[in-house]
Amino acid sequence: MISGSEDNTIRIWDAETGAVVGKPLEGHTSWVRSVAFSPDGQHIISGSCDKTIRTWDAETSAAVGKPLEGHTGLMLSVAYSPDGQHILSGSSDSTIRVWDAGTGAAVGKPLEGQTETVLSVAYSSDGQRIVSGSDDSTTHMRDAFRRVSIQYSFSSNPIQPHFYSLPDEDGWVRDSEGRLLYWVPPDCRISLHSHAFLTIPPPSHVRSVSLDFKDFAYGTSWTQIFNST
């Protein structure tokens, strides 16, 4: 296990015995607010109130490369992508940054949208989405590659979020009992879709949306078409 502390250090612990492993990792000049292991367990990242991210060798405890700098506020949350290629950070400057884990270079521009301190950041288990929670009482979800905001939820004035969902990995929007409602084209899946209203998403940057009413049915008749496919 790893831990970050207000004493500006990181410690590694034996998960079975609870004993400290090696010496504290030192280098930050302020409170270490967030720590994470790389997916392969070879590195540790730490985010600090000194506005930097540091990378450490998990076996030797030595610092790896230079601190990552760019945020103008306190570093409150750091996370690795599932493939270990990128590092995610959230800050009191209300932004999220993506970094190349190998080179330490910032990837693209800061992600904006939340209006107060970003308290927590994470990747989805498949690495396709970035999730962030903020002091402004919202959670944002973004496409990890296009880095556009695709969901706002848990706000102080929610718009019945249980009526909305993202399509599953096969593109289907389902009702509250898991039954199929309708299928969404791949390029339109980054939008929220309503269980109550079938909406036609706007054209994406690579394709248009067209409708074929040849087999159109309404009311309960649509089940006959679904069962025949």
* DSSP per residue, the chain: -EEE-TTS-EEEE-TTT--EEEEEE---SS-EEEEEE-TTSSEEEEEETTSEEEEEETTT--EEEEEEE--SS-EEEEEE-TTSSEEEEEETTS-EEEEETTT--B-SSPB---SS-EEEEEE-TTSSEEEEEETTS-EEEEETTT--EEEEES-SS---GGGEE---TTSEEE-TTS-EEEE--GGGTTS-EESS----PPP-SS-------TT---TTTHHHHHHH-
Mean pLDDT across 190-204: 51
Predicted confidence (pLDDT) at residue 121 exceeds the cutoff of 90: yes
What was the pLDDT predicted at 193? 54
Q: What is the mean pLDDT of the chain?
A: 80
CATH 2.130.10.10, the chain: domain bounds: 1-158
Ranges 61-65, 79-83, 163-167: which has the least confidence: 163-167
More confident position, 42 or 141? 42
What was the pLDDT predicted at 143? 80
Predicted confidence (pLDDT) at residue 160 exceeds the cutoff of 50: no
More confident position, 205 or 109? 109
Predicted confidence (pLDDT) at residue 10 exceeds the cutoff of 90: yes
Is the whole-model pTM more than 0.85?
Answer: no
Domain 1-158 listed as CATH 3.40.50.2300: no
What was the pLDDT predicted at 192? 55
